[in-house]
Amino acid sequence: MIGYITLGTNDLARGAAFYDALAAELGVGRMMEWDHAIAWGTPGGSAGIGLTRPFDSGPATVGNGVMVALEAKDAEQVQRLHAIALAHGGVCEGAPGPRGEGGGFYAAYFRDPDGNKLNAFVMG
């Protein structure tokens, strides 16, 4: 149902380094690129993620309650994605670990350099 998600940035080069590192761990690369935006994913694959300077040329701002979830293949990849995010200017919003009652959901939460909230998770 979702084709892609776009997040705003005030510094495309800084944001690109952050998302290039996450995408590499997830096994995807840049699939589209313009002077004001970059998108990562696989054409025809699952939903991609884009980073763009706002169309109205105003400052990019963070949506309260908005989060993008990146599906990992296992708990170890969740841990790696969290570490990669922090190493590339991200901020921890919740260390990797089990969430909820009964297990079955393992996640880590972080913000990108512009303050957009993401998580890496695995079910099962």
- The domains located in the chain, with CATH, are 4-54+67-123 (3.10.180.10)
Tens-place pLDDT, residues 40-69? 999 988 899 999 999 999 999 999 889 999
Tens-place pLDDT, residues 111-120? 999 999 999 9
Burial of 96 (0-12, 13-18, 19+ CB in 10 A): buried
User: Does 110 score more than 90 pLDDT?
Assistant: yes
Q: Report the alpha-carbon distance of residue 94 to residue 107 in Å, rounded.
A: 8
For residue 96, give every residue at least 6 positions away whose Cβ sits within 8 Å of its Cβ, in sequence order, or none: 75, 78, 79, 82, 106, 107, 108, 120
At 39 the pLDDT is: 97
Q: Report the alpha-carbon distance of residue 25 to residue 108 in Å, rounded.
A: 15
